[in-house]
Structure formats: structure tokens, C-alpha cells
Amino acid sequence: MKGPADVGGAEGFGPVVPDPDQDPFHAEWEKTAFGLTIAMGATGLWSLDRSRFMRESLPHTTYYGSSYFEIWLRALERLVAEAQVGSDGEVPPKRVLKQENVRAAMAAGGPTEREDTAPPRFAVGDSVRVKPMRPKGHTRAPAYLHGRVGRVAMVHGTHVFPDTSAHRKGEAPTPLYNIAFDAAELWGKDTTVSQVRADLFEPYLDPA
Amino acid sequence: MSADHDHDHDHDHAHLSEMEVRVRALQSLLVKRGYVDEGAVDELVTLYENEVGPQNGAKVVARAWTDPAYAKRLEENATAAIAELGFTGRQGEHMVAVFNTPSVHNMVVCTLCSCYPWPVLGLPPTWYKSPPYRAKAVADPRGVLTDFGVSLADDMNITVWDSTAEIRYLVVPLRPEGTAGWSEEDLAAIVTRDAMIGVGLPSPS
């Protein structure tokens, strides 16, 4: 979806304001919001892609008026409500992350690469165009690249497809590519970037 | 999120207590219903507040600066090369290292959310997650650098990496002049988080 999170190339947000310190948290509640989000992700009740969809589908006014950990908390509240936690219909956790398992779980992470299901359609050097699109659901094709022509710079293998994973339609492993876009193709002369590189899934792309 | 918002202290205080109340209510529900081990929440915070941070990435960069064979492995398979130093896992499952050269400067952003290589840089700073950076980096990286007080030569090409999937990018800056003979440890000390995102440069002073 082209929601409030999809801001690449937008004007009007003002200058970047560097943080005065190196601390990732600036209030106690932010620490808890972070820890709860990760711990609930470990329950297996929803995918990381669904979490992202719940953040990006917040109303514009809410999204832009919230700090990042507020966005995380609001999305977590929606996910918990979706799982009906605390009601008769609550979905039980598939796993519970215990304190003693935190380090091992974080060090293992959650790789998204899967066995190839079909040979990739594109190879390094191929010219491709990002499809025009306006999906209602989650996608990882940012709007500023829709319709633009680039070339395949890397073939990343086959990965979980966020567009289905976010909507409980399975992992649908899909080839993923790194695509190089020349600045002029994106912005004409009005830019200081030379090249933009983005990771895009095969269904987003047509030969060009 | 805007500067006005951040500096409106009365509003902030009321707001913080509201968030505090909401977080506590949610935590209490999730613990009571058996979804969350409270100790795990504390452990996650300890891990990412105090232990996993840019000092990890700095070791990777310093090793690459001093060991050409390691630099080659980092270029060819960054996930494995970074794992050699003990840094693996969440939000760094699939790593790519991008090397600055005398003619190309790299910068990393996530325009859609806040994707960031946790095992080597820790959790992202607020500015990295906020719309001003996410909007500007892909179109005007020199403007971003100006916001950070950094300027590059006019003929420097800037490549911006938008982390739109689960691949995470680490910038390997150029080793600054004036560091010949430095130990790996001394080199790591000048590799900043910002340099490994591409909004800063390491300096020997």
C-alpha cells in the first residue's frame, strides 16, 4: 500500500536532526515497547511482515504524529487485538520466549532465504521496469520506483515474499534482486544522488 | 516527530505518561495470559541497550582495513565474514558490505520503515527511523550530509542503498590517511556508527 510509511523522495519533512546521544531508547516505556514487540514476534502468532503492515496501515495523522516506538506500540496493540488475547477466542502462543533463551534466539535470528522453487527469471545485467501498481495490502516496492527502469545488479536468491506473508497467505518463496537505478531515471536533474539501489521481488518486475 | 513536537515539553510529559500507561497495560495482559516472560523483555532490553552496538561493526571495518584476505571475504560473503567475528542473527541474517572508494560514497536508508543491521550496529538512532531521513536520502544525499555537517568532493558519486527487503547493508568507509601502522583496536575506535551508515566519515583526530 502507499501508506504514510512510504516516504522515499517526499518533500516537506524538514532537515535530518541527528540524535544528541547514542542511546537507542529515550524513555523507559520505549524499552518495554521494544521488548514486548520482539517477545510477541517470537510467539509465532504473526510474521514480521504483518507487524510492518500494521505499522504502515495506521492513519496518516497517527503515523506522522507518533514517535517510532509509539508506532511500534500502536501496531502491537492492533496485533494483540487481532489475536484476541484476553478474550474467549484468544489464539494461544506457539512458543514463549524465555529469558534464558533470548541470546540464542537473537543470535540465530530468522533467515528469510529459502530453497529455490524455480530458476530466477532475471540475471545480472538485465534491464527491468518496476510495474505500475497500487496494491491494497503490504508491499516492499516503494512508490518512488513504480514504473521506473533499472538493471539487475545482484541476484539475492529466493526469499519469503512479504506481500503474501503479511496477509497470512504463506511464505510463497520468491526470487529477490538488487536493482540499480540511475538518478536521472528517478529524479531528472533535481538530485544529488548518482545511483539508487533497492531490493525488489520478481513479481514487482517486468523485462524492459 | 517534528522539531516542534520534540520541544513541546508540557505536551511531551503528558504524552509520555499516556504511553507509559498503555505499555504497562499491554505488558500486564501479555504476561498474565502467558504470552510473554517478563524476564525475557528485560533481557532483550539489556542486550540491545548495552551489548549489541556499533562497536561490533567497527571491529568488522577495522579488520577489513588491516587484513586484505578478510576484506575479500567480507566483499564476497558478508554474512559469513561478519559471523567470523561472532556477530550474527536478528536483522543481520543476510548481510552485504558496500565499500566506499575514492570515487563512490555509499549511504544506507530504509525508506519504508527502519530496516537496519542490528548485529553490527545495534538498534537504529531516532533520525534513521524518522521521515526526514527516509524521505531525503534517496533523492538528496548531499543535503543529508549537510545536515550532518559533512561535505564530499563535488565529483564524488553517491550510491544510496534502500533496504527494501531482508538484506542488510553495512558501509565500509575508506581508511583515513594518517592511520598507517595503527593497531586494529585503535582503528576500530575511530569507526563511528554514522560512518557505517554513510552519513559520516572516520577521522584520525
What does the DSSP 8-state code read for residue A145?
G
Q: pLDDT value at position B1?
A: 41
Q: pLDDT value at position B14?
A: 57
- Of the listed ranges A121-125, A143-147, B13-17, B139-143, the least confidently predicted one is B13-17
List, for residues B65-100, the tens digit of each pLDDT value: 999 999 999 999 999 999 999 999 999 999 999 999
Q: For B93, how many CA atoms within 13 A lie in the half-sphere containing its CB?
A: 17
The residue of chain B nearest to residue A55, with distances taken between CA atoms, is B113
Instruction: Tell whether B31 lies on the interface with A, counting CB pairs under 8 A.
Output: no
Respond yes or no: is residue B2 known to be catalytic.
no
- Cell numbers 541497550 correspond to B49
Of A197, A135, A196, nearest in space to A166 by CA = A135
Using DSSP's 3-state secondary structure scheme, residue A117 falls into coil
Name which of A6, A36, A73 is nearest B19 (Cβ-Cβ): A73
Which A residues 145-204 touch B at CB under 8 Å?
154, 156, 159-160, 162, 176, 178, 186-187, 190-201
DSSP E strands: which ranges in chain B? 95-99, 104-109, 157-162, 168-172
Neighbours of B76 (CB within 10 A): 10
Neighbours of A201 (CB within 10 A): 23
Q: pLDDT value at position A118?
A: 87
> Phi and psi (nearest 5°) for A113?
-75, 140
Active-site pick, B2, B17, B28, B113? B113
Q: pLDDT value at position B25?
A: 97
C-alpha B147/C-alpha B166 separation (Å) is 28
Q: pLDDT value at position B205?
A: 76
List, for residues A91-142, the tens digit of each pLDDT value: 999 999 999 999 999 999 999 999 998 899 999 999 999 999 999 999 999 9
Quote the radius of gyration of chain B (alpha carbons, Å).
19
A102 with B22: Cβ contact below 8 A: no
> Phi and psi (nearest 5°) for B171?
-80, 130
Instruction: Tell whether A58 lies on the interface with B, counting CB pairs under 8 A.
Output: no
To the nearest whole number, what is the mean pLDDT of chain A? 97
CA angle B176, B138, A202 (to 5 degrees): 110
DSSP E strands: which ranges in B27-173? 95-99, 104-109, 157-162, 168-172
List, for residues A20-34, the tens digit of each pLDDT value: 888 999 999 999 999
Interface test with B, best of A22, A26, A36, A145 (most B CBs within 10 A): A36
- 0.90 surpassed by complex ipTM: yes
